[in-house]
Amino acid sequence: MPNSKLESFLVADIGSAQTKVGLVDLVGEEFRFIGAAACPTTINPPDTDVLTGLTHAIAQIQARTGRALLTEDQQVLTPERPIGGGVDAYVAVTSAPAPLRVAIVGLSREVSLQSAIRATQGTYAIVAATLALDEVAGRWMRPIASASSEPTTGAPATAQDPAVVAATALAQANPEVIVIVGGIDGGATTALYDLTNLVATLVAAREESARPTLIFAGNRDARPHINARIGQIAPLRVVDNVRPTLAQENIAPLRHELEALYAEKKIAWLPGMNALSSHLAAPPLATARAFENVVRFLARRYGLGVLGADIGSATTSVVMARGETYTRVVCADLGIGRNIVNAVTRDGVLAPLDWLPLDISADEARQDWFNHALRPLAIPTTREEVYLMHAAARAALATAARQGGIDPADCDLVLLTGGVFANSANPGALALLALDALQPRGIFTLAVDALGLAPAFGALAAISPAAAAQVLERDGLVTLGTVIAPLSRNRDGVVDLRVQVQPADGGALGYEVPHGSLELVPLATGQKATIQARVTSGVDLEGATRGTFKAQIEGGALGLVLDARGRPIALPDDAEKRRAKIQQWYWDIGGEVSYD
């Protein structure tokens, strides 16, 4: 519950590879960010205690600021002392635990199963297997594993006993949670009962301690029978139907239940989390949930469509929000650290390589990515390694947005966070990464979370909304610039845009931007300007009236970005021409990596 008397805070983000801690304090009449530090996350031998990494990071802040934050026995000093030591409260988010392994079983693969899959994709969970009952043939269809699992092998289901097919698939998946879905509310129940009987038989055959938690999210009329049949066999949770009618989808209750299970089965069992929780002002939040809070806050506060992307070592999350409507996708097996290999191979290893300005073989790239998966905290030290890291981040972000059905056309602000974006001295390369991966269009603003603590501020909002809002706005977010990205049917070289920029404190500037190119207009952070953009024949720009767009904008680290590459961005088929084109884009946006 918010507390207006709290004036100083520690915020922590315990990732799968790195733990970051920040200090927030009231300075005059405003909350400001004071300092931060990071250490490797300590959940693996020899230091199997999250408190070890947290304490080291807090000690660094203590040394840098001269402010006493720890007691002699290395506990956080709370509340704040009259002489200035300690803090009033402590909050934490985490994405360190492994995701839940979930199996989804139901009646219709194209209806209820798809809804359950979408619910699962909004949480820290991996769909390890899906099983659908073919209502026409009256037997199990062949199981289809998730993209992160090995495909099920063997003879088609039609040649086997359906119970054997289901048992084999579930045994291979080894799920921690089985979600049962099917039927609309008030619909037929016979097939759903058959399905439940089969699941009950399979679960009962396992050792009691190894039985998965069951969640029923189907026809509400079947709840009494479901509870009577399997409620005594394994833990059972019942939530609202994911498909109450054929035309209506309701995935929020199932998603919330999976979030609760992740907190109970994963977060609570992190080594040292029990001791940490006793000192926190609020229960630890899953990082993606906390980041969602930030994106939704910005959308409501400014009346914008906000797209937020968080690329971590093991997980990539994307949130889209406008008003009270939002969508969230969590790819718990895609990242740029320990899960970097999944990110670059989901669409085939050559897809990320297509976006590199250098000539490198798939084997060389794969070796670099595998090495990074083994050493996720390693910092790229060569031009080639930096480009390969950007390629992996681009692939992870593009896959997550596509998987979640995120439409970047409806965004006014793109917010980027995660290790690849924090403390970077190359804003041009980061902007290009996001533009290539998401390919938003229209007129929008690009911003980065330079502190890498935006999700932690989402947890801070639970106890002090004012502190979270002020720190985010004053210190947390760095504007890269305004982007104009029209749709175009023109050929390369044909002018797409004619733009006039009138800075408030300088002379007017004019630009003609040919199709296939990027152009930067220098406009310093906070510098205001009036812009007028005219599109040519064959070009569409959302927000333009009769082909002309006028607005007042402010500059950023890059200024005004004119992206006339069209959507989708077309790459040359010839490898040499493709690399030359991408290299030119890096130069145009000021993102060329400067070291070897």
Give me the pLDDT at residue 83, please: 81
Please name the amino acid found at residue 549: F
| Residue 390 confidence (pLDDT) above 70 | yes
Residue 322 C-alpha from the chain's centroid: 17
| Residue 74 confidence (pLDDT) above 70 | yes
Rounded Cα distance, 105 and 97, in Å: 25
Is this prediction's pTM over 0.95?
A: no
Please name the amino acid found at residue 577: K
Averaged pLDDT score across all residues of the chain:
90
| Strand-pair category, 413-418 with 305-311 | parallel
Give me the pLDDT at residue 141, please: 45
Give the pLDDT band of residue 135 (cuts 50, 70, 90). very low
Give me the pLDDT at residue 45, please: 87
Give me the pLDDT at residue 252, please: 95
Give me the pLDDT at residue 134, please: 56
Give me the pLDDT at residue 593, please: 66
Encode pLDDT of 248-270 as tens digits. 999 999 999 999 999 999 999 99
Give me the pLDDT at residue 198, please: 84
Rounded Cα distance, 221 and 244, in Å: 11
Sequence ranges of the domains in the chain? 8-97, 100-265, 287-588
Rounded Cα distance, 469 and 460, in Å: 9
* Percent of the chain whose pLDDT exceeds 70: 93
Residues 207-212, mean pLDDT to the nearest whole number: 90
Encode pLDDT of 375-386 as tens digits. 998 888 898 999
Residues 353-369, mean pLDDT to the nearest whole number: 93
Give the pLDDT band of residue 2 (cuts 50, 70, 90). low
At the top level of CATH, the class of 8-97 is: alpha beta
Encode pLDDT of 89-130 as tens digits. 999 999 999 999 999 999 888 899 999 999 999 999 999 999
Give me the pLDDT at residue 125, please: 96
Please name the amino acid found at residue 355: W
Residues 278-294, mean pLDDT to the nearest whole number: 95
Structure tokens at 547: 């082909």
Give the pLDDT band of residue 155 (cuts 50, 70, 90). very low
| Residue 142 confidence (pLDDT) above 90 | no
Give me the pLDDT at residue 594, please: 63
Residues 183-210, mean pLDDT to the nearest whole number: 88
Rounded Cα distance, 541 and 562, in Å: 12
Helix (H) or strand (E) holding 263: helix 252-265
Give me the pLDDT at residue 157, please: 42
Give the pLDDT band of residue 431 (cuts 50, 70, 90). very high
CATH fit for domain 100-265, picks 3.30.465.10, 3.40.50.2300, 3.40.50.280, 3.40.50.300:
3.40.50.2300
| Residue 596 confidence (pLDDT) above 70 | no
Structure tokens at 265: 């089965």
Structure tokens at 440: 């938003």
Rounded Cα distance, 57 and 75, in Å: 13
Query: What stretches of 344-460 adopt beta strand conformation (E)?
Result: 413-418, 442-449
Give me the pLDDT at residue 350, please: 63
Rounded Cα distance, 349 and 365, in Å: 8
Give me the pLDDT at residue 127, please: 94
Give me the pLDDT at residue 5, please: 87
* Residue-wise DSSP of 162-223: HHHHHHHHHHHH--SEEEE----TTS--HHHHHHHHHHHHHHHTS-GGGPPEEEE-S-GGGH
| Residue 19 confidence (pLDDT) above 90 | yes
Residues 471-482, mean pLDDT to the nearest whole number: 93
Rounded Cα distance, 509 and 336, in Å: 40
Give me the pLDDT at residue 591, please: 86
- φ/ψ of 190, rounded to 5, equals -55, -50
Give me the pLDDT at residue 226, please: 93
| Residue 357 confidence (pLDDT) above 90 | yes
Give me the pLDDT at residue 167, please: 72
Structure tokens at 40: 């490797």
